Structure 1
Amino acid sequence: MNLQTFNPGRCPARRMLNHSGSGCYAIIHFGLNTFTDKEWGYGNENPSVFAPEHFDAEEIAKTCRECGLDGLILVCKHHDGFCLWPTSTTNYNIRQSPFRNGKGDLVKEFSDACRKYGISMGFYVSPWDRNHPEYGKAGYPAVYREQIREIFSGYGPAFEAWFDGANGGDGWYGGACETRSIDRTTYYDWQTVWTMVRSLQPDAAIFSDTGPDLRWVGNEKGTADPESYGCYTPHAPEAGMEPAPGFTRSEEGMQGHPDGRYYMPPECDVPLRRGWFYHPSEDGQLRSVAELTGIYLRSVGCGGYLNLGLAPMPDGRLADGDILRLREWKKAVDALFAHPVVQCEMPLKDGAGIIEFGRPARFNLLEMAEQIADGEKIRGYEVLLRTAGGGFRSLISGKAIGRRRLKRLPETVEGDAIQIRITDAAAPVAALRVACYAADFPEAEKECRHSPPDYLRTAHHPEGTEWHCDLGCEMPVKGFRFTPDPGLPAGTPDRYELLLSSDGRTWRSVAAGEFSNIRANPLPCTVTFRQTEHARFCRLRATRMLIPGETLAGVEFGILTALPEERRSGGAPVMRETEK
């Protein structure tokens, strides 16, 4: 793939200069998974479950605008293959659902709503399709390209085309129920796909692990490196191979490269909740205002863009708590900039400049930005503060500035002038945009671990690739929850089997599957059985690991039980959530 076809180099194209004025937008996950309580559907879910009775795209778009999000990217098709528009490429689409009496087009409703409320619209169509019988075979890429053509030619202007590294695996595949692998570097023919997008939507920024306009930051925490550069050169994880979406050294996306060949700033994606789709068990697990504000400083404030995941409920509305949290976060971000001490363009002579405040002033937040149309140049700088004594002292130093750099100072300082010195640059820097603020930062909230009310954390002992536990007595079991180690050590499972027994000798398998998206988003994974089982003994078995290990690795395992609280006890090696 020739990235130079799509990216001019270290100076940003016009589409990137115009991309998202606020630096914040949303990505909407809403589909069959919303109704089946999954993160990744297998591809065999019945479209009849998709029945949002109170869906209102205008209300969602209006909320986004009011909360400071100036764009909305819709997941038009997730990995399960279900299309939210009446595509001609597959019957597995919204017309097979009861939504709008089988005549709905959710993509159109969102697109129309965004235009009405003056926010930008973007689209994501998953390349991986766990439903389509041709996936992994020669015929599917043409199907995918036709889906891309339908979306990017039929629903108005797009500000972003969003692509990820979904590159095959287990799926229904028309009833084959098997694992299918692809050549990640060639199968989708990204050169042709992106050429189509450029032709249909020349102003749309294309996002993926390899850009070409926006790069994935390499995590789903929403955070770039504090010294993140806007320039980047994608590298394949294997020597001699070409990089491709899902086939890069993703860890390099956090910082970028000071000598990167392409202007390709990071897009930092993170869900407002813990998962991307709506799950009732996460109603009390919204990110705090302080956490969201910190994410803003580590994304927009590090030269990147923040893409915040929103998840409508099965009735089609955003939860009231989600809307309230968005409004609280908008207020907190506004408070960062409500009390400016100085805002100006600072000319530089011989790589240095001084801003006089005209009076002593206190501040705790510093903003800097390069004239990015000329390319990112700065690789080192120092900021000095002049205090009442009349002399300058070093305040902070760093490497990258780029399109925007927000630096929260370790403490509030007072002075009447600042000096900025460029200590390393790829080319002379003529000026910087600079501002100092007396910011109000939200107080950090004490972290609270939430669990379903029917959750019992178990004491377990490892035996190779299994965890065994004794519940102390036979009890009703309706599911389980596994919490991975965020560091994802060797032995972390991404596929599992759960076995139950009443006597510890005769075992029956009651659940098997995958811990969806555990690599990018290692959060507690909850599995609910179709029917309540009864057992005293449990075995969690790793049937596949992210990195092979001799023992199953994780932080915690527990069951979901139908027992009343007063009977969850009693001498059994089980701990209530409140005992942590």
Structure 2
Amino acid sequence: MSLLTLLFFSSLLSLSKSTPLKPHPLPILPLPSSQQLQWQLGSMSMFLHFGPNTFTDSEWGTGKADPSVFNPAHLNATQWVQIAKDSGFSRVILTAKHHDGFCLWPSDYTDYSVKSSPWRNGTGDVVAELASAAAEAGIGLGLYLSPWDRHDGAYGKTLEYNEFYLSQMTELLTKYGEIKEVWLDGAKGEGEKDMEYYFTTWFSLIHQLQPGAVIFSDAGPDVRWIGDEAGVAGSTCWSLFNRTDAKIGDTDPLYSQQGDGFGQDWVPAECDVSIRPGWFWHVLESPKPVAKLLDIYYNSVGRNCLFLLNVPPNSSGLISEQDIKVLKEFRELKNSIFANNLALKGFINSTSVRGSQFSAENVLEEGLDKYWAPEEKQKEWELYLEFRDPVSFNVLEVQEPIQMGQRVASFHLEMRNVESGKWERVVRGTTVGFKRLLRFPRCESQSLKLVVEKARADPLISYIGIYMDKFSDSGRNSSKITITRALQEELVLNDS
């Protein structure tokens, strides 16, 4: 080989090495914090309602029950945590104090706690045992400290009670290691004493003591309530929200369910529901069937939310065998559907690509780090899947890389008719966010097309899944998507 040829190839190699990559697109505000991202990636959490109500067959205790009623002879926090972990839950959240004011830890600020009970001869600490079990299992710990306290005499004296409340909160956030979530509400019974909760001060102290924790309430600041206790989010569900338009204890349920496509704050939603009719364990109640849990999963995690399922320990201090059986069936059923992504069997392409590192193939890799990005200023945003043989499916999964902001406002899936060769619409959705799951009657095709119709900025897609759910009713109407007035306003915005 001549010197001239060597120089030529050397220059080409040098040029290829120095060619810069196309930059990532600009994130679109608002953006999630690192804590909010970690929370959303967890997908499911387990709530543990436990206390004197468990022994008195109550939901809202009066604060007058004798501490001696609390005596869970076989309490095993390791069992709670292991069941949560085995069932796919990323964290557990305990009612450290419910409305009755009874504390599941030996608080220095009241005697109405486990230290006055016969359990562990008055030396027990449920919070400590759960914290230790969660840390050992590698799952997160969250705590609920009820603002409403029906036992303590300071309740109704605003300054005195807020001091008392924050002292107890400080105990919980400084004695039990890392806390991943602090769960709050505006609880106050009808006709109760006039009482103002200093929420802004509470939030500041919580973030100071546990900077890695997210705070849940009707209005955030980090995670919002979905607005119902059925575990169902709106078919349109933005993580965008205006905290100034929400008030703890007095937020429009529809606003909570849908979020706000024009929102200035990132406040994703959490869907709470109990596995049983009540929040506390009752001997005559039974858990929901597995089909119902799967339906809730589709309507919570599958609508850009976190699924918070309450599984109350019984009066022995254990999660009941009935509940364990249903949770095991739920895990197996969910895995049987989502472990087989049919899209992985296909060849994927797109109408355009921003750069080589943003190729369509990225949507077949799990995770948010890689994603498909179209070329800028395009009129069409489409991804195509081609299969060697026809595939049967009835579930679509779409994910956005939410660290770049939530973008998609509407999209649909089409398939090419095997006989006519014409494209036919399969299903339509509105928002995507972290994860969107859509169910529809069983389809069969070799060619699929995902079309993003409207978005706040160039859409970014991090994952696509095509699945066959043999257990859901293919004729259900809940898969039909209706464009709400709020969405129509969003579409007008995105047309401009």
- TM-score relative to the length of structure 1: 0.69
Alpha-carbon RMSD: 1.8
Give the structure with the larger helix fraction: 2
1:315-336 CA-to-partner distances (Å, cap 9, x unmatched) read 1111111111111111111122
Aligned to 1:153: 174
Task: Report if the CA contact (8 A) 1:28-1:74 is conserved.
Answer: yes
1:175-213 CA-to-partner distances (Å, cap 9, x unmatched) read xxxx3122xxxx221111111111111111111000111
Question: 2: distance between equivalents of 1:181 and 1:251?
Answer: 28
Task: Report if the CA contact (8 A) 1:383-1:420 is conserved.
Answer: yes
Question: 2: distance between equivalents of 1:334 and 1:225?
Answer: 25
Question: 2: distance between equivalents of 1:225 and 1:108?
Answer: 37
Residue 154 (structure 1) shift: 1.1
Are 1:97 and 2:117 an aligned pair?
Answer: yes
Are 1:382 and 2:412 an aligned pair?
Answer: yes
Residue 233 (structure 1) shift: 2.1
What secondary structure does 1:30 align onto?
coil
Residue 67 (structure 1) shift: 1.2
Aligned to 1:86: 106
Aligned to 1:426: 456
Question: 1: distance between equivalents of 2:244 and 2:85?
Answer: 36
Residue 22 (structure 1) shift: 4.2
1:69-93 CA-to-partner distances (Å, cap 9, x unmatched) read 1210000000000001011111111
Q: Aligned pair count?
A: 416
Task: Report if the CA contact (8 A) 2:241-2:260 is conserved.
Answer: yes
What secondary structure does 1:21 align onto?
helix
Aligned to 1:303: 304
Give the structure with the larger strand fraction: 1
Question: 1: distance between equivalents of 2:470 and 2:179?
Answer: 35
Question: 1: distance between equivalents of 2:462 and 2:154?
Answer: 53
Residue 220 (structure 1) shift: 0.5
What secondary structure does 1:115 align onto?
helix
Unaligned runs of 5+ in 2: 1-27, 345-360, 364-371, 475-496
Question: 2: distance between equivalents of 1:327 and 1:442?
Answer: 18
Unaligned runs of 5+ in 1: 1-7, 171-178, 237-242, 445-580
Task: Report if the CA contact (8 A) 2:399-2:461 is conserved.
Answer: no
1:523-576 CA-to-partner distances (Å, cap 9, x unmatched) read xxxxxxxxxxxxxxxxxxxxxxxxxxxxxxxxxxxxxxxxxxxxxxxxxxxxxx
What secondary structure does 2:453 align onto?
strand
Aligned to 1:366: 396
Are 1:222 and 2:231 an aligned pair?
Answer: yes
Question: 2: distance between equivalents of 1:298 and 1:289?
Answer: 14
What secondary structure does 2:323 align onto?
helix
What secondary structure does 1:54 align onto?
coil
What secondary structure does 1:108 align onto?
helix
Are 1:126 and 2:113 an aligned pair?
Answer: no
Aligned to 1:490: none
Paired residue type of 1:317: L
Question: 1: distance between equivalents of 2:137 and 2:41?
Answer: 16
Aligned to 1:408: 439
Residue 136 (structure 1) shift: 1.4
Are 1:73 and 2:68 an aligned pair?
Answer: no
Are 1:111 and 2:114 an aligned pair?
Answer: no
Match of 1:441 among 457, 468, 471: 471
Task: Report if the CA contact (8 A) 1:234-1:249 is conserved.
Answer: no
Question: 2: distance between equivalents of 1:277 and 1:335?
Answer: 31
Identical-pair percentage: 35
Match of 2:268 among 265, 270, 279: 265
Task: Report if the CA contact (8 A) 1:71-1:120 is conserved.
Answer: yes
Residue 248 (structure 1) shift: 1.6
Residue 225 (structure 1) shift: 1.2
Are 1:398 and 2:418 an aligned pair?
Answer: no
Structure number with higher relative contact order (C-alpha < 8 Å, ≥ 6 residues apart): 2
Aligned to 1:504: none
Aligned to 1:58: 78
1:77-116 CA-to-partner distances (Å, cap 9, x unmatched) read 0000000101111111110001111111110000001111
Aligned to 1:30: 50
Question: 1: distance between equivalents of 2:460 and 2:236?
Answer: 21
Paired residue type of 2:170: R
Task: Report if the CA contact (8 A) 1:230-1:256 is conserved.
Answer: yes
Paired residue type of 1:345: N
Task: Report if the CA contact (8 A) 2:179-2:210 is conserved.
Answer: yes
Residue 428 (structure 1) shift: 1.1
Paired residue type of 1:376: Q
